[in-house]
Amino acid sequence: MKTGLLMAILLSVLLPPVSVIIPFFIIYNRLGLSGTLLGLIIVTLTTTIPFVTWMMLGYFRNLPKIEALARIDGYSRVGTFVRIVIPLAKTGIVVGALISFLFAWNEYTFAQVLVTGTPAATIPPAISGFFFQVPHPQHLAAALIYSVLVSFIAIYFLQRHITKLNIVEVLGG
């Protein structure tokens, strides 16, 4: 069961977005989710969560096995997870969140087909719309800078959490 679930997650990561765009389009039209922000959120989660799950699985497997020690000290399963495992995995969680943000920020395929021309569209389809209008290079340049600037700011503020892992702080020493 566990291996089957992991294989299903891996297979969903391997599917290119173009291969599932038609079923999503049909389902979204029937459910009235086309052109809505909720629809874009659902499709982004559907494509991002399997990748981040697969990535975090590898990260959690490489954490030190100190859960048993915490259990001996009297922590419950939830207490062990909250006080020991999450602080140890802080770096992996931040990286997973950053990758999820960048995937969502740069979503083009589903946003172009499912929510194009609405306020729910993401930055890449909006930028591609500049190519089919009257050429205003300054507008295109501003949009490109804006799209890259947000990613750079997110990475800049989170880089210290990515590069720093203080185990002494986690263990209370």
What is the C-alpha separation between 123 and 6, in angstroms, rounded? 32
Distances from the Cα of 164 to the Cαs of 12, 29, 67, 92, 95, in angstroms?
32, 46, 22, 11, 12
What is the pTM (predicted TM-score) of this model?
A: 0.73
The structural domains of the chain, ordered by start, are 2-171 (1.10.3720.10)
pLDDT tens digit string along 55-89? 888 888 888 888 788 888 888 889 888 888 888 88
**pLDDT over 70 for what percent of the chain?**
86
pLDDT tens digit string along 94-107? 888 888 888 888 88
pLDDT at 167: 43
Distances from the Cα of 59 to the Cαs of 92, 118, 132, 169, in angstroms?
6, 38, 44, 19
pLDDT at 165: 47
